[in-house]
Structure 1
Amino acid sequence: MSDIDTVVVGAGVAGLTAARLLAAAGQRVVVLEARDRVGGRTHSQRSDGLVTDLGASWIHGIDDNPLFAAVRAFGMPTVELTVGSYQPDSRPIAYYDPEGVRLDQAQVDRFAADVHAFDERLATAVAASSHGTSYETVVETTLAELAWPADRRERVREFLRHRTEEQYGVWIGDLDAHGLDDDQVEGDEVVFPDGFDALAGRLAEGVDVRLEQVVTRLRWSTDGVVVRCGDRDLAAHRAIVTVPVGVLKAGALVIEPPLPDPLAGALDRLEMNHFEKVFLSFRERFWAPDVYAIRRQGPAAAWWHSWYDLTPLHGVPTLLTFAAGPCAQAIRGWTDEAITASVLAALREIHPHADITPAAVEVTRWRDDPFALGSYAYMTVGSTTEDHDVLATPVGGVLHLAGEATWTEDPATVTAALRSGHRAAENVLGRSVAIETLWAAVVDRSAAQASRVTRAAR
C-alpha cells in the first residue's frame, strides 16, 4: 500500500493549488512535473532586467476574484491594463480605418456604440441558437437583421472575428455559438511587472514537487492509481491530472482504462487553439501617447490588427501583438525574422514616417511545446458550456481532472485553473475548503521549511 495520498500530474497553477490545499489538510502529496520549472503555461522570461510573460499575462477582472486575492496575499505587484479582453473602448485605444487614417474620438465612439448595440442583439441570438450552431452563423444572422450600410456591418463583423481569435485563438466559424458565453470581465484587468509565474513559485513553497518527471501512463482502479515516469512506477491512493487538453488528446499520457463517458465525449469536443505572442521592444516610442492599444480596421488587418502598449510595465517602449487562429496556423513554420517582418510591415502602414526598427523581438511557440500543444482550449461546434465541468467529474473515486479547460464559468484563464484546482482538492477531501487556506496555513508551514522542489536524478 502506497504512503502517498494523492499524486498530482502537472505543476501549473491548477496542480499546485490542489496540492497546496491537500498538503494543508495533512495529506501526503507528490507533484510530478514534466518541465524543468513550475508554472506550466504561466512562464516568465527574465533578461536584462526585463520580465516577459510568454504565457498567461492578465487577470481578466479582479472583482471578487480569488486569483487576485491570492496575488495580493502573496505581495505580487500589478499594473492596470484593462484591454486584455478585446473591449471596443473601455480604455483609450487608437483606431485606424481601412485606409490607415486614425479615427477621431467621435468616430471611435460611434464604432464602439455599434459594437455594444450589436452585442446586445447577439446575446439574444446565441441564447436562441440550436445545438451545433457556430459563432459565425449567429453573428451573420444577427448582422442580416440590421439595416446598416455594408461598410458599417463589415467593421462590426471584422471586430467579432478578431475578438474570437484573440479570446480563443480560433476562426469564428470553428467556435461554438456558446464559445464566448463566459466573455465577461468584472472590474479592472491587471498584468505583472515582476512576472505572473511568481504565483506558481509561491504556490509551490512547501509542496513536494518533482521536476523533469514525464508521466507517460496512468493506471487507475477503485483501489488507487499507478503512474509511470520513465522506467519507474509511483503508486498513490488517488490522482489529480492537470495536463492541458492537447496533451490528453495526443495520447502521450495514456490513461488506463480510458476516460469513460461523459468525460470522454466532453474531451473530444474541446480542442487546443493556435495562439502565439509577438513582443516588440523599441528604443523610442513612436505610437500615440496615453493609449492602451492600437487597432487597425479593414482587409489589411486580417492578421495583425491589435497592438498593446506594455511600456508601463518597465518603462521600455514595448508593443505586444497576437498571432491567433488562421494567422497562427499560417505562420507556424516561419522563422522569428519572417514573423517580425510581417508585423512591422503592418505597423508601417499606419506609422509610415516612424522609425520602427525593434531593439528586441520575442515570439512564442506554444503550439509546438510538447507539454502544452497550444495555449488553451476552446469549444468546437457542437460542444456545450457544461463540457468544461463534465471533464472534472471524479472517476472511480480515485481519478480527478483539473485545469483551465475544466471550469465552465471562466475557462481559458489562470482564474479557471486556480478554481479548478480548488475544486479538485475539495473533491478529494470530500468536504469544502476555504480558498484562503491557499495563502494562509500552508504559507505558515513553509516559512520554516526549505523548498522541496527537486529535479530528476541525472
Structure 2
Amino acid sequence: MELKDSIFTDLVDGHLASLIHGSCISTPTVIVIGGGISGMAAAHILHNASLKVILLESRNRIGGRIHTDYSFGTPVDMGASWLHGVCNENPLAPLIRQLGLKLYRTSGDNSVLYDHDLESCTLFDMEGHQVPRQMVIEVGDVFMKILKETDKVREEHTNDLSVHDAISIVLEKHPELRQEGRAHQVLQWYICRMEAWFAADADMISLKNWDQEHVLSGGHGLMVQGYYPIVKALAKDIDIRLNHRVVRISNGSSNAMVTTEDGTNFIADAIIVTVPLGVLKANLIEFEPKLPDWKVSAISDLGVGNENKIALHFDNVFWPNVELLGVVAPTSYSCGYFLNLHKATGNPILVYMAAGRFSYDLEKLSDSSLVKFVMSQLRNMFPNATDPIQYLVSRWGTDRDSLGCYCYDIVGKPEDVYERLRAPIGNIFFGGEAVSIENEGSVHGAYSAGIMAAENCRAHIMQKIGSIDKIKMVPLSNQVIEATTIPLQISRM
C-alpha cells in the first residue's frame, strides 16, 4: 500500500497501520527492498506463496550486481559472471536447466587459481615477454606449499592475522620458498588472483577464515548467455517499482513503513532488506527505531571488496586461444589479467579485471583514461593490438547503489557475525549475499539468502495472523522443479 501522507508517528505506534491493514488489506503484504538476485528470489518465493509483494529498486533496472550488457551485440556480464559450483547441488541449477542456459567450465575442483586452471593461462612480464609455462607451473606449486604452511601459522597464533602477514611469516621461516626475479613476479600474480577471489588485498583478508568457505563441487563455469535471464525469470509477475530509492524504514509494533527518496510511503506487514552491505555500511537508509548495537556491529564486522571490469570489443582477434592473459609484476597490486571471452563465446572480447585497492584507484580515472591504460598493457604483450571498437567500464566501488561488490572476512571477524547480520528485527528481515554463511560473495549464496529470508518472513506473518498453514510455500514454480532431469549444458572449448 502506497501513501503520500506524513504518517510516521502513527505508524511507529502501530495504530494507523493496523487500521489500514484491517480495513483495506485482506492479503498480507511484504515489501522487498533491492532488486538483485537475493531480492528477486525472495519476491518470487513470497509471490508464489500468494502473498502481496512489492519490490522497490533504486536503479532503473533489476539485477543489482548482476548486470548483463548487450551493447556489444552479445551478452557481457559487467558484474557477476561465474557459477561457482557447476553441479546439481547448486541451488541455481534447476533454474539454469529449465531456462536452457549454457555454461563454459573454466576450471575443475581445487584449481590453484580458484576459477581457472593453470593450463588455461598465458602470462607476460611488464616488458611483454612471455613467461615460460614450466615456471608458471613450478611457482604455482610453491604457492600451494606456502598456503599450506599458513595453516601452521594459524595454529601457532591465538589472535587472527592477515593472509599477507601469514605469507610473510612462512617465507621468513622457509627461505627456500622465496622466489627471485621473474619467479617472484609470478608468485605475486598468484597472490593477485587470490585477492581477486575476495575482491580485497591480502593484508585485509582474515587468515583464520580465508579458506573456510564451502565451495561446491564441479568447478567454476561462465554463464555464456549472461546472468540476466535468471533474474528476468524470477521477476515474472512481480510488482517491481524501479527508480524507488529507499531512504527510511520505520518498524511499528504490527506493521512497517518504507519511505522512498521522493517522499512516498509504503506500508506492509513485513519488510525484507536485501540491499548490498556497502549501502548499509554507509547508512544510506535510516532505520526508525535505530538498529540495535548488535546489528550495527554486525554490519561493521564484515568487509566489502571491490572488483571492476573494463570490457573491450575488437573487430579481430590478435591474442592466443587461452582463457586468461596475465601480467606479472613485482607486487600483486601491479599485476593484471584479461578474461578472453572469445574462448568461451566466440566473440572478440577481452575483459580486464582489477580488484581491491587497485580497483578503487582505477575508478579515479575517466573511462577514456582507463581504456588507454588497459590498451597499454595489451600492447606490451601484443604490439600489433588494434584499438577497441567499443568498451564498457564498471565502477562498483563508487556506485551509490552498491558501494562495493561482495563481502569478505576481515581480520578478527567475530564468529557470530553472519548470524547477527541475518537475524530479523521485528517485522524486518535481511537477505543479500552478505548473510549467506557458507557461500558469501557468490550468486547462489545471495539467491539462497533471499529464499531463507522469504521463508522466515512468511512464517512470521502466518504466525502473527494465526494461520501458519493457511498459505502454502512453493520454493519455485512447478515448471522449474519438474526440470530437474534436464542436464546442465556444459562446454569446454
Q: Considering the TM-score relative to the shorter chain, is it more than 0.5?
A: yes
Distance, in Å, in 2 between the alignment partners of 1:159 and 1:128 is: 27
* 1:307-322 map, 5 Å: 307-322=338-353
TM-score by length of 2: 0.81
1:434/1:52 Cα in 2 relative to 1: closer, same or farther (>3 Å)?
A: farther
Q: Please point out which of 91, 111, 122 is paired with 1:94.
A: 122
**How well do the aligned residues superpose, as a CA RMSD in angstroms?**
2.9
- What is the aligned counterpart of 1:11 among 35, 55, 69? 35
Which residues of structure 2 form unaligned runs of 5+?
A: 1-17, 460-467, 483-493
Number of aligned residue pairs:
441
Partner of residue 175, structure 2: 147
1:226 aligns with 2:257: yes
- Secondary structure of 1:362's counterpart equals strand
Offset of residue 191 of structure 1: 2.0
Q: CA deviation at 1:243?
A: 0.4
Change (3 A) 1:131 1:254: farther
Aligned equivalents of 2:233, 2:112: Cα separation in 1: 26
Shift of 1:328: 1.8
Structure 1 residue 201 displacement after superposition: 0.7
Contact kept, 8 Å, 2:160 with 2:208, in 1: the verdict is no
What is the CA distance between 1:170 and its match in structure 2?
Answer: 2.0
Which of 320, 329, 334 is the aligned partner of 2:360?
329
Name the structure 2 match of 1:135.
163
Partner Cα distance (1:31, 1:315) in 2: 37
Cα shift readout 1:164-206 (whole Å, capped 9, x = no counterpart): 4312222221222245222745213222232211111100112
Q: Distance in 2 between matches of 1:164 and 1:116?
A: 11
C-alpha contact 2:430 2:453 (8 A) present in aligned 1: yes
Equivalent residue of 2:397, what SS? helix
- Within the alignment, does 1:360 sit opposite 2:354 as a pair? no
- CA contact under 8 A between 2:339 and 2:352: conserved in structure 1? yes
Paired residue for 1:294, among 318, 325, 333? 325
| 1:53 matched to 2:84 | no
CA shift at 1:218, angstroms?
0.3
2:381 to 350, 364, 367: 350
Q: Retained in 1: the 8 A contact 2:436–2:445?
A: yes
| Distance (Å, rounded) in 2 between the aligned partners of 1:118 and 1:149 | 7
Q: Which residue of 1 aligns with 2:98?
A: 73
Whole-angstrom CA distance in 1 between matches of 2:410 and 2:442? 18
SS at match of 1:366: coil
Higher mean displacement: 295-304 or 403-412: 295-304
* Counterpart for residue 434 of structure 2: 405
Query: What's the CA shift for 1:110?
Result: 1.4
* 8 Å CA contact retained: 1:59, 1:189: yes
- Describe how 1:188-199 pairs up with structure 2 within 5 A: 188-199=219-230
Structure-2 residue corresponding to 1:440: 478
Aligned partner of 1:448 in structure 2 is: none
Residue in structure 1 matched with residue 246 of structure 2 by the alignment? 215
Aligned twin of 1:174? 204
Over 3 Å counting, the alpha-carbon distance change for 1:286 and 1:126 in structure 2 is: farther
- In 2, Cα distance between the equivalents of 1:436 and 1:408? 23
8 Å CA contact 1:82–1:91 kept in 2: the answer is: no
The alpha carbon displacement at 1:76 in A equals: 2.3
Aligned residue in 1 for 2:336: 305
Which segments of 5 or more consecutive residues in structure 1 lack a partner in the other structure? 445-458
Q: Give the equivalent residue in structure 2 for 1:452.
A: none
2:139 partner letter? F
Q: Report the residue type matching 1:429 in the other structure.
A: R
Distance 2:414 2:190 in 1: 20
Instruction: Indicate yes or no: 2:52 matched with 1:28.
Output: yes
Distance in 1 (CA, whole Å) between partners of 2:335 and 2:474 is: 41
Match in the other structure for 1:247? 279
CA distance in 2, matches of 1:19, 1:388: 22
**Structure-1 separation of matches of 2:405 and 2:385:** 32
Rate the CA distance shift 1:147–1:154 in 2: closer, same or farther, 3 A: same
- Structure 1 residues 253 and 98: alpha-carbon distance in aligned structure 2, compared to 1, 3 A threshold: same
The normalised TM-score by structure 1 is 0.87
Match of 2:413 among 383, 394, 418: 383
Secondary structure at the residue paired with 1:38?
coil
Aligned-pair CA distance for 1:117: 2.3
The residue identity in structure 2 corresponding to 1:279 is A
Where 1:280 maps in the other structure, the secondary structure is strand
Change beyond 3 A, Cα 1:79–1:285: same
1:119 aligns with 2:147: yes
Please give the alpha-carbon distance, in whole angstroms, between the structure 2 residues aligned to 1:149 and 1:97: 21
User: Larger Rg: 1 or 2?
Assistant: 2
Give, in whole Å, the separation in 2 of the partners of 1:378 and 1:237: 32
Per-residue CA deviation, residues 388-419 of structure 1 (Å, 9 max, x unaligned), is 342001222x2111101111211111111101
Tell me, yes or no, if the aligned pair for 2:146 and 2:167 is still in contact at 8 Å. no
Change beyond 3 A, Cα 1:85–1:147: closer
